[in-house]
Amino acid sequence: MTGISRTGLARPVIRPSPRRLEVYTARHLPAIPELARLDPDHRFAMEVVARVLPFRVNRYVIEELIDWGRVPEDPVFRLTFPQPGMLEPEDFRRIAALLRRGAPEAEIAAAVAAVRARLNPHPAGQRRLNVPRLQGRRLQGLQHKYRETVLFFPAQGQTCHSYCSFCFRWPQFVGERELRFAERDAASLQAYLRAHPEVTDLLVTGGDPMVMRTQHLAAYLEPLLTPAFAHVTDIRIGTKALSFWPFRFLTDPDADALLRLFERIVAAGRHLAVMAHVNHPQELESEAAREAIARIRATGAEIRTQAPLLRHINDDPAVWARMWREQVRLGMIPYYMFVERDTGARRYFELPLARAHAIYREAIARVSGLARTVRGPSMSATPGKVEVQGVAEVAGERVFVLRFLQARDPDWLHRPFFARYDAEATWLDQLRPAFGEAEFFFEPGLRAMAARAGAA
């Protein structure tokens, strides 16, 4: 906030006092003073669930995002703290019984591993179909599913400032190293991008890449600003730090260096987008979050927002409408509404697709065109991102109208296709083609791709 950078000049800066990231994990649950107000059964249930699913929360989230007067219903509380309903009743009883009788750690660990294995730790063919190769070597820290966009998982960015209780990346947070995507080698990233001139977008993701030191992020990104990588016109950074740790952009020791890096990326003629994950408008109410948004925007970076639709947290059109309006007012661009993925604690969070679409439609109807940039509800499934466009009556049959917003084969994009209406279905694999057809139009192509991946 000194010197002559655009960030410094753009507006007077209110510098909040620096804060240190104080984090609690499952071991510390009993030591969080705010939880004392919950009844002992609820607290015990949280410990049971935290044995299976990742838990990590910091004091900023506890003090400034959660409304403790509304706990346990508070949305940010449910977003970050384990809740009794997040495990199947049978699994819950098993782990609870082991903890109650003080079973040996090894026995608990074995039971926990069995429960985790049942939670579909790798949805949507991520391992088998998306990990690319370079000269025969599998690049574990990259995913290349859609032609234009490469996902990059830097090794230093594979945790988060807090964890979301619904996160589909949960397996990597519970320490299963073999399930972890990560790359520490900037040279592999560069070699892959050099070999793939069709790639226009690099999406740095995690975990949360904003847990990384700026110098590490710069080591990956600066080389890409040279003419050899002119084809990589767009750089996106997926993060929840605006919600979970806005001080990353304000007062952390290398916060200013980060904003300078953003400015250099923009000055190099690249489009820089911070893809902010925001589940609830409450996350944007703090002074620190607003200041962080302003500082990022002053670098010339854009902020686009995305989030899944979650039962118990944001399954209300009024919440989405308020959130999108607020985002637009703050200069952010609403981008995606996702359907909760088919993994982890999905039973707690999932909603029927019909309900998801109704919420989207009602919310969209309440905002101006500037917020109608948001697409969805979209399922990130094995063949691609499938949007539920609506429910219609065609030739006497009630159907879902669907389309690909992203597809493994670009030829599948934006072709309307139809599934039999099903009031209960929550995911693509539960839908059947309409009009008596045997399969969806993309299925033969997808089978052929899977066969090629298996043979490779």
Judged by the rule CB under 6 A, the positions of this chain that interact with ligand PLP are: 143, 145-146, 149, 151, 203, 380, 385, 405-406
3 state SS of 413: strand
**Maximum Cα–Cα distance across the chain:** 67
* Least spacing, CB of residue 235 vs ligand PLP, in Å: 13
**Rounded Cα–Cα distance for residues 267 and 270 (Å):** 7
Answer with the entry of ligand SF4, ligand PLP, none that 371 interacts with (C-beta below 5 to 8 A by kind): none
Residue (79 or 151) nearer to ligand PLP, CB: 151
Angle at the Cα of 401 from the Cα atoms of 396 and 403, rounded to 5 degrees: 150
The binder of ligand SF4 chosen from 24, 55, 146, 163 (CB under 6 A): 163
Number of H helices, E strands in the chain: 17, 15
- From the list ligand SF4, ligand PLP, none, pick the one residue 151 interacts with, judged by a Cβ distance below 5 to 8 Å according to partner type: ligand PLP
| Size of residue set near ligand SF4 by CB under 6 A | 10
H or E, element range at 375? strand 375-380
The reply on whether position 209 binds ligand SF4 by CB under 6 A is no
In terms of residues, how long is the chain?
A: 456
Cα angle 302, 237, 159 (rounded to 5 degrees) comes to 140
The least distance separating ligand PLP from the CB of residue 380, rounded to whole angstroms, comes to 5
Which residues, 6 or more positions from 113, have their beta carbon under 8 angstroms from its beta carbon? none
**By CB under 6 A, residue 164 contacts ligand SF4:** yes
What amino acid occupies position 43? Answer: R
- Residue 117 CB, shortest distance to ligand SF4, in Å, is 20
Token look-up 């996106």 returns: 236
How far apart are alpha carbons 276 and 289 in whole angstroms? 11
Window of 196-204, 205-213, 248-256, 435-443 that interacts with ligand SF4 by CB under 6 A: 205-213
Report helix, strand or coil for 308: strand
Does 240 bind ligand SF4 (CB under 6 A)? Our answer is: yes
Partner from ligand PLP, ligand SF4, none binding residue 146, C-beta < 5-8 Å depending on class: ligand PLP
Choose which of 74, 91, 208, 387 interacts with ligand SF4 (CB under 6 A). Answer: 208
Position among 75, 157, 171, 207 found at the interface with ligand SF4 (CB under 6 A): 207
For residue 142, the minimal CB distance to ligand SF4 (Å) is: 17
**Closest distance between ligand PLP and the C-beta of residue 168, in Å?**
10
Q: Are 125 and 383 in contact (CB under 8 A)?
A: no
- 374 makes contact, choosing from ligand PLP, ligand SF4, none, with CB < 5 to 8 Å by partner type, with none
Of 93-101, 163-171, 196-204, 337-345, the window that binds ligand SF4 (rule: CB under 6 A) is 163-171
Tokens of 175: 């320490």
CB within 8 A of 255, min separation 6: which ones? 247, 248, 249
Minimum distance from CB of 156 to ligand SF4 (Å)? 14
Short-list 336, 357, 377, 345, CA closest to 423: 357
The footprint of ligand SF4 (CB under 6 A) covers 160, 163-164, 167, 169, 206-208, 240, 277
